[in-house]
Amino acid sequence: MTEDFIVRLKQEWFQRFDEILDNSRTIPLSGLKCLELCEARCCPRVGMRSMQADQIASPVVVLLPFEMEYLIEKTGVSRELFRRWPLALTPEIAIEIGMLDLGRPCPFLTEKLQCSIHEHNPLDCRTFPLLPYQNHREELEWELGANCPSLNFLNPNFVTVVKRVWQDIYQRLPQSWWDIYAFADHWTGWTETHHAD
């Protein structure tokens, strides 16, 4: 019974990811000047670049439920590449979600500081430098990521569409996901030796 529930939920999320990626073909260009101005500061991997860990604009990427499995299916990477964190779907049923952080550096960043899975990259990456968060009334709100040098170039139409995508999935996300997402902002579980590749 539990397994059926998880399988069904996974199928629903996979379909959602397909739709988001499909929609993304019609998402307006972000306007960000990542290649001109940046060294992929929002990708949690420091050893390839001259920057220190505190210059990383987004030191943790938190995947949505079943997004790790979706990425594995699309790219063939191993589950071991991800930090895995328990997520309670219901009081009785838990799954694991994936995270990439400075201790589990993103394996998809190329030597040229580009994302090698751009077509499938996680929604958290796709959304940056917009940062969704849940306010104290449990409503979806937004802030901008610090350390992103492209903030002044952000296309308002891109912002509108990305916010719409998140509004759609907001109701589907369990509260426990938002709890992990909020906690990840303060996640310092990696050690000094993990600051390099």
Q: Where does this chain bind ligand SF4 (CB under 6 A)?
A: 32, 34, 37-38, 40-43, 57, 61, 100, 106, 108-109, 115, 117, 121-122, 125, 128-129, 148-150
Q: How far is the CB of 79 from ligand SF4 (least distance, A)?
A: 15
Across 161-172, b (16+ Cβ under 10 Å) vs e yields: bbeebbeebeee
Q: Cβ atoms within 10 A of the Cβ of 28, count?
A: 13
Residues 6+ apart with CB under 8 A from 99: 60, 61, 62, 63, 82, 83, 84, 85, 184, 187
Q: How far is the CB of 113 from ligand SF4 (least distance, A)?
A: 8
Q: How far is the CB of 149 from ligand SF4 (least distance, A)?
A: 5
- Gap between the Cα atoms of 182 and 75, Å rounded: 28
Q: How far is the CB of 140 from ligand SF4 (least distance, A)?
A: 20
Instruction: Determine the distance from the C-alpha atom of residue 126 to the mean position of all C-alpha atoms in its chain, rounded to a whole number.
Output: 7
